[in-house]
Amino acid sequence: MGNWIINHGLTYFILVVWMAINIFLFVWFFNLYNTENKFFYTRHILGTALSWARAPAAVLNFNCMLILLPVCRNLLSLVRGSFMCCGRTMRKQLDKNISFHKLVAYMIALMTAVHVIAHLVNAERYYNSRHGLDDELSTVLSSLGDTSNSTYLNPIRSLHITPTLLVFTSIAGLTGVVITLALILMITSSMEVIRRSYFEVFWYTHHLFIVFFAGLVFHGAGRIVRGMTTLDYDVDECKDDVDKWGETEECPIPQFAGGFPQTWMWVIGPMVIYLCERLLRFVRYLQTVKYRKIVIRPSKVLELQLVKNGFKMDVGQYVFLNCPAISQLEWHPFTMTSAPEEDFFSVHIRSAGDWTQKLISLVEQLPEGAQGPKMAVDGPFGTASEDVFDYEVAMLVGAGIGVTPFASVLKSIWYKFKDSNPKLRTRKIYFYWLCRETHAFEWFADLLQVLERETEERGMGKFLTYKLFLTGWDQSHANHVMVHADQETDVITGLKQKTNYGRPNWDKEFEQVRSENPTSVVGTFLCGPAVLATVLAKKCVKYTDVDPRKTKFYFNQENF
């Protein structure tokens, strides 16, 4: 239990607070509309469906406010910066931005369903009472019209208006249908299958959020839910004497008015922030980026070394690249592989899809010495691995293409070593590299080789321990290895450290780290698939000691 609190405590605390606010809003507004005198007559026609529509609306306001915040990357970077003093546990929460975005979206979907169903019932009940199918009081209330001495309550003003007609002729109804449709399309196109495999479909459809927010702001403008404005009105006394309304002092004809629309007040702040984000991105789109070097590595990996004025990066951060020659609208994230100490920044781009393929062929056709195609850079944006130097011991796990952020980390460590940077708190680094085949990552092996030589020359060979795990290998491979078994360097990578075959036995690895560092705080950093993340998160909990003097493992994950 103690371990669990150390690793996940704050995350769940935040979730509990969020859920508590949701529940509070729901219950509060449900009660408000269910008990308040002001809505007595409205409630008489609509029943509890009124509360069932209004309570989700309040929760929706709150969640629509929240949903834009986790995707404001510059805002998150800003917050991360201001949390520098407050410890890493707080900052780590910011890496779960997309999970939170999804959670809020699920809540919006659920509340929309309740809200829509409740309003379907409301429309039907208004229709019935307008046609005199309910009791006398309802009929009288529904037939009140906008005259010199009365105001209407029932939005169905004439007898030939059906519920469908009501919805498609009122602001609330029309915007409601449009934004619900936008929401449904956004949800169906962001399912895992679509998002992972056909990113463009997801990316473009998700921009329906503009329609969604525009509709949302105007949704309440029709003021269709009306409450009584007559003060000092005793409903209990007057509700039974409908015929005498307006004749006595105590029971005047009740007056009604719509509530002031509130949604825009909730969402306007995040909308402005998000607009600023997009403006910032546009400004960055216009800034010039120069190529320092373009290298096409064997095995179709493109290395771009770029220079941009005023660009300042940190370890393990990523940038969004936009190449107008390929698509003016698409921004693709890439992890930077250069160290902050270098005077340029670099990305390694592997041919993985349409966009990367087009970029590589564009670059290949360039004449010798020419500048590359125009490139716009947005970023840098921070993720967990800038915290690597804050931990005494760092366990870095890179799987497949997930080694890229660690290229930056390792390079930066190399530079910090050279300068004997006092900021380097790290005493020891364990690096695990899991991949199916190494030949796509030759460039990374090169980097490791340089690093290995460097640390050895300085007599600090113990500082970096790295282990390579090759998960895809066959018999001929094994034969080859056996033949060269007694050579000093590994046959595949040319490194001193021999490659392991198969997947790592994590229990063994964690046990080893713990026994070698009995009193340290260990940061575990993963860049790789979600399955591995679950495994590692569990191991971190398992091997963390509640005793504050003993080894502690903190789990961090990079998102792609």
- Site residues (CB under 8 A) for another protein? 113, 116-117, 120-121, 123-124, 127-128, 162-164, 167, 177, 180-181, 184-185, 187-189, 191-194, 197-201, 352-355, 479, 482-483, 486
Residue closer to another protein, measured from CB, 131 or 290 = 131
Residue closer to another protein, measured from CB, 192 or 236 = 192
CB-based contacts of 186, cutoff 8 Å, min separation 6: 205, 206, 208, 209, 212
Min. distance of Cβ 466 from another protein in angstroms? Answer: 27
Residue closer to another protein, measured from CB, 199 or 218 = 199
The end-to-end CA distance of the chain, in Å, is 30
Residue closer to another protein, measured from CB, 240 or 354 = 354
Long-range contacts of 121-126 (CB under 8 A, 24+ apart): 121/46, 121/47, 121/49, 121/52, 122/46, 122/49, 122/50, 122/53, 123/163, 123/166, 123/167, 124/163, 125/45, 125/46, 125/47, 125/49, 126/45, 126/46, 126/154, 126/155, 126/156, 126/163, 126/166
Min. distance of Cβ 316 from another protein in angstroms? Answer: 25
Token digits of residue 97: 């931005």
Residue closer to another protein, measured from CB, 118 or 409 = 118
Min. distance of Cβ 177 from another protein in angstroms? Answer: 7
Min. distance of Cβ 355 from another protein in angstroms? Answer: 8
Neighbours of 63 (CB within 10 A): 25
- Regarding beta strands 318-322 and 345-350, do their DSSP bridges make them parallel or antiparallel, or are they unpaired? unpaired
Residue closer to another protein, measured from CB, 13 or 204 = 204
Min. distance of Cβ 551 from another protein in angstroms? Answer: 38
Residue closer to another protein, measured from CB, 222 or 252 = 222
Question: What's the Cα-to-Cα distance from 86 to each of 108, 321, 357, 384, 521, rounded to whole Å?
Answer: 31, 32, 43, 15, 17
> Are the C-beta atoms of residues 546 and 3 closer than 8 Å to each other?
yes
Residue closer to another protein, measured from CB, 334 or 553 = 334
SS3 string of 220-261?
A: HHHCCCEEECCCCCCHHHHCCCHHHCCCCCCCCCCCEEECCC
- Regarding beta strands 345-350 and 428-435, do their DSSP bridges make them parallel or antiparallel, or are they unpaired? unpaired
Residue closer to another protein, measured from CB, 52 or 431 = 52
Question: What's the Cα-to-Cα distance from 211 to each of 16, 178, 179, 216, rounded to whole Å?
Answer: 31, 8, 7, 8
Residue closer to another protein, measured from CB, 188 or 512 = 188
Residue closer to another protein, measured from CB, 177 or 495 = 177
Pairwise CA distance, residues 353 & 368, whole Å: 26
Residue closer to another protein, measured from CB, 123 or 464 = 123
Residue closer to another protein, measured from CB, 1 or 193 = 193
Min. distance of Cβ 300 from another protein in angstroms? Answer: 15
Pairwise CA distance, residues 395 & 359, whole Å: 34
Min. distance of Cβ 244 from another protein in angstroms? Answer: 33
Min. distance of Cβ 370 from another protein in angstroms? Answer: 28
Min. distance of Cβ 189 from another protein in angstroms? Answer: 6
Min. distance of Cβ 117 from another protein in angstroms? Answer: 5
Min. distance of Cβ 70 from another protein in angstroms? Answer: 23
Min. distance of Cβ 132 from another protein in angstroms? Answer: 14
Pairwise CA distance, residues 269 & 272, whole Å: 5
Give the H/E segment covering residue 321. Answer: strand 318-322
Alpha-carbon torsion (514, 452, 433, 524), positive or negative: positive
Pairwise CA distance, residues 19 & 170, whole Å: 33
Residue closer to another protein, measured from CB, 123 or 238 = 123
Pairwise CA distance, residues 540 & 547, whole Å: 15
Token digits of residue 396: 């870095």
Question: What's the Cα-to-Cα distance from 334 to each of 62, 77, 206, rounded to whole Å?
Answer: 33, 17, 21
Pairwise CA distance, residues 143 & 131, whole Å: 9
Pairwise CA distance, residues 189 & 185, whole Å: 6
Token digits of residue 285: 């789109």
Token digits of residue 520: 């340290």
> Are the C-beta atoms of residues 465 and 509 closer than 8 Å to each other?
no
Pairwise CA distance, residues 505 & 494, whole Å: 24
CA 522, 526, 529 angle in degrees (round to 5)?
Answer: 150
Min. distance of Cβ 148 from another protein in angstroms? Answer: 33
Min. distance of Cβ 208 from another protein in angstroms? Answer: 12
